[in-house]
Amino acid sequence: MDVRTTLETLLAVSVVAFLAPILIPLVPGPRIPQVVLLLVGGMVIGPQVLGVADPDSVQLLADVGLGFLFLLAGYEVDQRLLRLDPGRRAALSWFVTVALALAAVWVLYTLGVVRAFVAVAIALTTTALGTLLPILREHQLLRGRLGQHLLAAGAVGELLPIVAVALFLGANNRFVALASLGAVLAVAVGLTLLGRRFPGRLRTILQEGQHETTQVTVRGTVLLLTLLLAVAEEFHLDAVLGAFLAGMVLRRWTGHGLPALESKLDALGYGFFIPLFFVYSGMSLDLREVISSPLRVFLFAALMLLVHVVPVLLIYRRELATRERWQMAFVVSTALPLVVAIAEIGRRNGTMLPENAAALVGAGVLTVLVFPAIAVALRRSVPDEPHAVPGTKDAPDRAQPS
């Protein structure tokens, strides 16, 4: 690929990434998540519409963006919440969701609609709560008991599908995937123990260097991420789970001693690499498949809602009011960023048909446009029923996104 094509593509991608957040307030109606405009912008500049950008020329940078997406997802997980009742309920709900998704997609598999039903089933179980946090905070849906359960469900809806991707999609065989998982966990434990025994002088250097031109903490994070990607490519291991666990380790490792790291990683990841990945995904998306198969898009969107509604209504029946359970069902059924990543992984390794990858992304776009608006509307229109578990105080409206 020649340098000129790469530069032209980077210029087009940069224009889309710059315009997306500016255009969001100008679009009438409910607030649209930025990822939707990034995907649409990628379609527009890609080879199927204007043809001013070539996705192959920026694939390497897009892979780094995919790694940053999962690294920051792991960094934002509030691990304490997962050990409490909201975390246990979220995990139980997710496993029921998996069973329902596998059953539903198996039917589609027997009908010849899908080829590798596991990849599609995993995509149906994901949750994109981080994408919706601004909307949920704006409408005060993160307060109290409902907010705690939403945050826990969002964390589980990102963590466990990523583990499933690592085991079933990321490696050439199951043994290699399990070895990759074990190796990543060993590295995570080792880094955590090492962080607790950091010499005082070295920790001082890290704390001072994070504000200077050395930016040592950011460089160390980028080194860790690129090392994971390089090792994964060399030994055919899984980088997705590694990046997610690396984010969780970084959060536990740095603690409150490096407060500036999170904002700098956000600036680096969300400022460039992650938008580039979503624009790249839009460029690679088969737009003709989406347009020619609208029923497939609506089918996947309906399944995303169905497999989440049943466990939420059952598992939280003594914990949340009816209105709150329906709100939670629509919120946790919203799934776009991870769906884009899973569709891209499935498309690359051949475990997902191109038409299903395109339809899943289209369904994900539909969920972020419709489901949050319904959840907000339910807050205003449906009266509460008495809680089965009374007397719970509201928690503060301040929690880590998942």
Q: Is 246 within the bounds of a domain? A: yes
Q: Is 183 within the bounds of a domain? A: yes
Q: Which residues contact 45 (CB under 8 A, 6 or more apart)?
A: 12, 13, 15, 16, 52, 53, 279, 283
- The total domain count for the chain is 1
- Domain residues for 80? 3-381
Phi, psi of 265 (to 5 degrees): -65, -40
Q: Is 386 within the bounds of a domain? A: no
Tokens standing for 129?
């709560």
Spatial separation of the C-alpha atoms in residues 161 and 180, rounded to whole Å:
16
Per-residue pLDDT of the chain (402 residues), as tens digits, is 577 888 889 899 999 999 988 888 887 766 777 888 888 899 899 888 888 988 888 888 888 887 787 777 777 666 676 778 888 999 999 999 999 999 999 999 888 888 777 888 999 999 877 667 667 777 777 778 888 888 888 888 877 887 787 677 655 555 555 565 566 566 656 655 655 555 555 555 555 555 555 566 677 777 766 776 666 555 545 566 667 767 776 666 655 545 566 677 778 888 888 889 889 888 887 777 777 778 889 999 999 999 999 999 999 998 899 999 999 999 999 887 788 878 877 777 777 878 888 889 889 888 888 888 888 888 655 444 444 443 333 433 333 333
Q: Is 398 within the bounds of a domain? A: no
Q: Which residues contact 250 (CB under 8 A, 6 or more apart)?
A: 71, 74, 75, 221, 224, 261
Q: Is 269 within the bounds of a domain? A: yes
Spatial separation of the C-alpha atoms in residues 176 and 284, rounded to whole Å:
28
Give me the torsion for CA of 262, 222, 249, 148, rounded to 10°.
40
Counting every residue written for the chain, the total comes to 402
Spatial separation of the C-alpha atoms in residues 66 and 226, rounded to whole Å:
11
Spatial separation of the C-alpha atoms in residues 260 and 211, rounded to whole Å:
8
Q: Is 402 within the bounds of a domain? A: no
Spatial separation of the C-alpha atoms in residues 33 and 25, rounded to whole Å:
11
Residue 357's CATH number: 1.20.1530.20
Q: Is 35 within the bounds of a domain? A: yes
Q: Is 38 within the bounds of a domain? A: yes
